[in-house]
Amino acid sequence: MNTTESQTNLTATGSQLQTTSTPDVFEDAKFVIDARDAALGLHLRELWNYRELLYFLTWRDIKLRYKQTALGAAWVIIQPLFTMLLFTLFFGKLARMPSDNVPYPLFAYAGLVPWTFFSNAITNSGQSLVGNSTLISKVYFPRIYIPAGAVAAGLLDFAIASVLLLPMLIYYDVTITWRIFLLPVFALMATMLALGAGMWLAALNVRYRDVRYAIPFLVQLWLFASPVIYPASIVPPKWKWLLAVNPLTGVIEGFRASILGKEFDVSTISSSVIVTSLILVFSFFAFRRVEDSFADVV
C-alpha cells in the first residue's frame, strides 16, 4: 500500500509540475515574423546573423588554394605575368597592337590584373556550390556565402598581383598621379560584378551540370570582348555602345587609367556601374529564390 500510494503521489505531483511549468516556458518566448522580408525571400537579417561565416569560408578557400603547392602565392603573379609576356610578343611586337602611347607590357598587365581576378572569381564561385555539396546537404546556413567566399578569397590574389605594377611604373618612368587612389573603387566594381555573375552561374550549375563546361568558354569569349589586349579607343564609333554594355569595359579602362594617370571615360564607367548593379540585384534575388532547393538537387 505504501508503494502504491507513493507512485500515485509522484504521478500526481509530476502532472501538477508539468501543468504549471508549461505556461512559464512559453511566457517568455517571442516569435517575430517579418512578412515583408519573407515575401521578398531575401532574409536579410539571416545574412547579418551569419556574417562571420563569410570570413571562415573565405579563409578556408585561401588555405585550400595554396595547400601542398611548391610555389604558393607566386602563382598569383606568374599567371598574369606570363600572359602579359605572351600578349606582348604576339600582339605588341608581331601584330603591332596600339596601346594609347603606353608601353605595351605595362598596358597589357594593367588590364590583365583585374581581368585575371574576375575570370578566376567567376570560375571558382560558379563551381563552388557543387564543390561543397556535402556541406550544403548536412548543415543549414545562407548558401549565398559559398560563392561570396570564393570571390572574396580572390581579393588577396588581386592585391598581390597589383604589387608588380609599382616596379613596372618605375621601370617605364610613368608618373603616379592622384588617380591611383581610385583603384579601390574599380576593385570594388570588379568584385561586385564577379559576385553577381558568380552567384547566377553557381545557381545554374546546381540545376544544370553542363554549366561547368560552359564557364571556361564564356570566360574565353569575355576576354576578347573586353579591352584587355586592345584599347577601347580603336573600336569604331558605331560599335562603341556594344563595348559600353560590357560591364568589364569600365572596370578595366578605369583601373588602367588610375594606374597610368589617364583621363577617365565617365560615360563608359557610368554604364559599367549601372549594368553591374543590375546584374548584382538580379542574381541576388534569383539566388535567394532557389537556394532552398539546393540541398535536394546538389
In a domain, 239, yes or no: yes
In a domain, 290, yes or no: yes
pLDDT in tens, the chain (298 residues): 444 444 444 344 444 434 434 344 434 544 444 434 444 456 778 888 888 888 999 998 888 887 767 676 778 888 899 999 999 999 988 988 989 889 999 999 999 999 999 999 999 999 999 888 888 888 888 889 999 999 999 999 999 999 999 999 999 999 889 999 999 999 999 999 999 999 999 999 998 888 888 999 999 999 999 999 999 989 888 888 888 899 999 999 999 999 998 999 999 999 999 999 999 999 999 998 888 888 777 6
Cell of 67: 595547400
CA–CA distance, 266 with 257 (Å, rounded to integer): 11
* Number of structural domains in the chain: 1
Per DSSP, the residues of 227-259 read TTSS-GGGS-GGGHHHHHHSHHHHHHHHHHHHH
How far the first Cα of the chain sits from its last, in Å, is 63
In a domain, 9, yes or no: no
In a domain, 174, yes or no: yes
In a domain, 285, yes or no: yes
Range of the domain at 192: 45-297
Q: Could you tell me the pTM of the whole model? A: 0.82
In a domain, 24, yes or no: no
Residue from 140, 112, 56 nearest 226 by CA:
112
CA–CA distance, 92 with 108 (Å, rounded to integer): 9
Q: Decide if 18 contacts 29 (C-beta within 8 A).
A: no
In a domain, 169, yes or no: yes
In a domain, 20, yes or no: no
